[in-house]
Structure 1
Amino acid sequence: MNTFTNDWEFWLDENISPIIAKWLMEEINIKCISFHFLKLNKTSDIEVYNLARSKEKVIVISKDSDFPELVAWKGTPPKVIFLKFGNCSNKKFYEKLKSKIYDAMEELIYGDLDIFEINKD
């Protein structure tokens, strides 16, 4: 496994608990920020996309299909981790994310992938 560069940021969509950002940052040692703390929770998806695009090394983690659609339509940056599982406890949510986060980072940061999907299984 590569040692991941820490000049990337993960932005967690408003429908994801800010506690997940804290846990994830402790796990992967990369800056993880909730939309809530970025004060983006009342901002349109296109505005968030444009802001992330201007910062360049941003990966948006979202359950919202708008972000993968924006990336498919307008390109990267940002890159996206698209979560395709329903509501669950923060603990269960984190376990699902943690089980795939290193694969996602490998593909998005060092590979050619723009959108990494994490399914419900």
Structure 2
Amino acid sequence: MKLLLDANISWRIVKLIGNDFSDSLHSNVIPVNQPAKDIEIWQFAKQNNFTILTHDDDFEKLLLLKGAPPKVIILKTFNKNTKQIAELLISKKEIIESFISNNDLMILEIY
């Protein structure tokens, strides 16, 4: 499962979720000028079959404007630390897998 983490999510999460989401990357390692802009993250995700993971509602706007792919997962996890977010993602793994494999869905919110 290929998740591309937006800049507003800690890069440390990639390591913490590695066993469950092994093909995940953080936007700070994609081949664009850093920090990566939302549109650059969007284009990279689309070209490389990633699902974007973010806290940022701007990706929802891009999704409505441009359509999928890529799909977008928006974390609505206020006041959670990096470890708690990683644990939440791992606990929602089946839901995330189902979302990614369903061609009729474009956006998933996780609380």
TM-score by length of 2: 0.85
Please tell me whether residue 37 in structure 1 is matched to residue 37 in structure 2: no
1:3-45 deviations in Å (ceiling 9; x for gaps): xxxxx521011121222112222124x3011112225551221
Q: Which has the higher helix share?
A: 1
* Stretch moving more, 38-47 or 11-20: 38-47
Which runs of 5 or more structure 1 residues have no equivalent in the other structure? 1-7
Distance 2:69 2:57 in 1: 16
Q: Which has the higher strand share?
A: 1
Which runs of 5 or more structure 2 residues have no equivalent in the other structure? none
Please tell me whether residue 25 in structure 1 is matched to residue 18 in structure 2: yes
- 8 A Cα contact 1:108 1:116, kept in partner: no
Distance 1:47 1:58 in 2: 13
- 4+ long deviations beyond 4 Å: none
Pick the aligned partner of 2:71 from 71, 79, 93: 79
Residue 54 of structure 1 is matched in structure 2 by 47
How much identity, in percent, do the aligned residues show? 32
TM-score by length of 1: 0.79
1:46-102 deviations in Å (ceiling 9; x for gaps): 2221222222x2101000011122112201111111101114222111122222232
The two structures, once aligned, show a CA RMSD in angstroms of 1.8
Please tell me whether residue 70 in structure 1 is matched to residue 62 in structure 2: yes
Size of the aligned set, in residue pairs, is 110
